[in-house]
Structure 1
Amino acid sequence: MQNLTEFPLNATSHKRLSVIIKVCVVIPFFCVFLCFIVLMLHIFASHRQFLDTSRYILFAYMLVNDTLQLLSSVLLFLFVMGQVKFAIVYCVPLLFISTVTFQNTPLILATMSLERYVAIFYPLQCPATWRSDRIWIIILSLWLISCISPVIDHSIGKRYPAVDAFSTPVLCKPVVINLSPIQTLIKVAVSVLFFAVVAVIILFTYMRILLETRKMRQDRVSVSKAMHTVLLHGFQLLLCMLAYTLPITETLIVLHANWLPEDIAFFNYFCFILIPRFLSPLIYGFRDQSLRVYIGKTFLCCTNKVKPRVRGKPQDCFLN
């Protein structure tokens, strides 16, 4: 009888310890990501030359989009870990932002590849929409396209009959407003279509720029940089597509390891949602020479503030 009473206590303590470990892994990781994003956005806002270039505006937009995506997903993760329940009317905005920003990422990558294509092939006759003062039209269009599928999904979604959207507390999960298998199939099909179209666009722009590199005798350096940038967007797209390998990884983990369902879900979330979103802006930011210079200057300024002051003329940050 004593063993029967000790087993639930051990199971409960083990579950609590598992939740604490997961939270302690996700929160510092997200904080580091957020600090890096804030640093890069501060650099964009402090230097006018970045805001006058369409490529950097699109990159800043991607940073904001990834931040919203990770912020909403981390909040949902913490609510599920803490078993926090609230009404569906408060849950839907979080799920909506998470879905829209997730589908918006591949569209941004395709737009950034097309921007490189336009910059190479139409340097003197750039279309008005791709200029830095008109690029907001494209950004707004990306948001509208990304919102179409979630709006339809949340509008026709089936809910539990006994659940009141304004008063019944529930765990904030997509299954709460997405009970139909057909609805799930349509959602996956739309996402796969998004990624397929983006993959075709990136491949097209890469091949055209590659062929142009062989033809041009002058300015081969800028064309080569554009080619590598498009290739980087393809790598970023590959990182984003890792999220669609969740069913495969879950099957492999179940076959080769005796993991709990919540541990499998956390592993997939950390490896295929958090890490790709963190690596994507990190690689792009440090690859760009201009951004890398300003990032280095920012870190030097921060370290100089910590060190004791030395007599002499003070040095200002971002002199160049």
Structure 2
Amino acid sequence: MADNSSLIGGESLQQQISYRVIIVQLLVMIFLCINLLLIATFFKKEFLYTTTRYILYAVTLLSDSFVLLMSDVLLILTFFQITMHVWLCIIITVVVLLYLMITPVTLTAMTLERYVAICMPLRHGELCSTHSAINCILIIHVLSSVPCIVVFSNFFASASLSFYEQHSVCSVEIFILFRWHDHIRSAVHQFYFLIMCITIVFCYFKIMKVAKSASGENKKSTWKGLRTVILHAFQLLLCLIRLWCPFIEAAVLQINFRLFFNVRYFNYIMFSLAPRCLSPLIYGLRDEKFFLELKKYAFFSVYNKKY
């Protein structure tokens, strides 16, 4: 009797997992389509791809789209328990970890751009030129690669050669061989987000100071920039919480597997998918110039399909 009940429970859990995987596929497809439409709009107008804030916005769209796609692929591989060589998983994980960090680092850079535009308007053209934006993207990639280098430096120093020949379900956890590896990874991430939070708070108070003394159109523009900084801070908060999820999930796993499954699914939706779905809202829909071009491009595409 106990075996039958456990079997029924197992089948019920398997069905629940299947439904949730399908829901994730729908969400990922919707957000990828929105992101691709925004990226296409970005490349349609010269003033968009030659303006620093829109260039940085496009970087977040591309990195978010890539992370959405790759995390979804890894989710499917895990669901079907498909294994691969560890060396292949290393290549995939390196790229995913890099782009996981690119979004929060780019958000910080976008906040600094708003600070320069509002608090140092006379130097904005000089500091935020197209050439500066290209250099900024290179710096963003270098800074974003540091946590990944730390994780895999520890792994390469500790893993035996035979480990690379093994097959495993691909996950970053397989490269955390010792508890101190995880502690170092966590410390690096916490340091990064501490610096990001300090930067966001600094920019917020500086822009707030300007907003109080501004008038007319300048005041309206300044308060809009301030709201953008607040939304960036909210995105960074969600990304920061994502770093704590593995610790919470590990503790819950010791209590109950079904509860662990529910918590992990909630964490994935709230702290992996949600932060990467806010970028379209912040710039694609709130920015008047971008939204105007988006409507033109979307309407033109629909019109062409009809005729």
Q: Does residue 268 in structure 1 map to residue 261 in structure 2?
A: no
Q: CA deviation at 1:299?
A: 3.6
In structure 1, the residue matched to 2:242 is 243
Moved more, 39-48 or 8-17: 8-17
Counterpart amino acid of residue 263 in structure 2: I
Equivalent-residue separation in structure 2 for 1:244 and 1:300 (angstroms): 40
- In the alignment, is the contact (CA less than 8 A) between 2:83 and 2:168 conserved in 1? yes
Correspondence 1:268-307 to 2 at 5 A: 268-305=267-304, 307=306
- In the alignment, is the contact (CA less than 8 A) between 1:103 and 1:191 conserved in 2? no
1:137 to 135, 139, 146: 135
1:80 to 78, 81, 84: 78
**1:185–1:221 Cα change, 3 Å:** same
Equivalent-residue separation in structure 2 for 1:118 and 1:68 (angstroms): 29
In structure 1, the residue matched to 2:101 is 103
**1:81–1:223 Cα change, 3 Å:** same
1:68 to 61, 66, 69: 66
Moved more, 85-94 or 281-290: 281-290
Equivalent-residue separation in structure 1 for 2:24 and 2:168 (angstroms): 23
Q: CA deviation at 1:175?
A: 2.1
Q: CA deviation at 1:123?
A: 2.5
**1:297–1:248 Cα change, 3 Å:** same
**1:209–1:8 Cα change, 3 Å:** closer
In structure 2, the residue matched to 1:227 is 226
Equivalent-residue separation in structure 2 for 1:197 and 1:75 (angstroms): 32
Equivalent-residue separation in structure 1 for 2:57 and 2:80 (angstroms): 34
Q: CA deviation at 1:232?
A: 2.0
In structure 1, the residue matched to 2:53 is 55
- In the alignment, is the contact (CA less than 8 A) between 1:106 and 1:194 conserved in 2? no
- Partner of 2:131, secondary structure, is coil
Q: CA deviation at 1:30?
A: 0.4
1:45 to 38, 43, 47: 43
Q: What whole-Å deviation, never above 9, does each CA across 1:22-55 have from its counterpart, x for those lacking one?
A: 2201111101111001000000000111012111
Q: What whole-Å deviation, never above 9, does each CA across 1:57-112 have from its counterpart, x for those lacking one?
A: 11111111111222222222111111010111111122222222222222111111
Moved more, 207-216 or 251-260: 251-260
Q: CA deviation at 1:143?
A: 0.6
- Partner of 2:122, secondary structure, is coil
Counterpart amino acid of residue 296 in structure 1: K
Q: In angstroms, what is the RMSD of aligned CA positions? A: 2.8
TM-score by length of 2: 0.88
In structure 1, the residue matched to 2:118 is 120
- Partner of 1:179, secondary structure, is coil
Equivalent-residue separation in structure 2 for 1:256 and 1:295 (angstroms): 48
Counterpart amino acid of residue 182 in structure 2: T
Equivalent-residue separation in structure 1 for 2:44 and 2:95 (angstroms): 28
- Partner of 1:46, secondary structure, is coil
1:90 to 69, 83, 88: 88
Equivalent-residue separation in structure 1 for 2:238 and 2:154 (angstroms): 30
Q: Work out the percentage of aligned pairs sharing the same amino acid.
A: 27
Q: CA deviation at 1:251?
A: 8.6
Q: CA deviation at 1:162?
A: 8.8
Q: More helix per residue: 1 or 2?
A: 2
Equivalent-residue separation in structure 1 for 2:44 and 2:81 (angstroms): 41
Q: What whole-Å deviation, never above 9, does each CA across 1:1-38 have from its counterpart, x for those lacking one?
A: xx476456535533432332122011111011110010
- Partner of 2:123, secondary structure, is coil
**1:234–1:5 Cα change, 3 Å:** closer
How many equivalent residue pairs?
A: 305
1:14 to 6, 12, 15: 12
**1:237–1:5 Cα change, 3 Å:** closer
Q: CA deviation at 1:150?
A: 0.9
Equivalent-residue separation in structure 1 for 2:208 and 2:61 (angstroms): 27
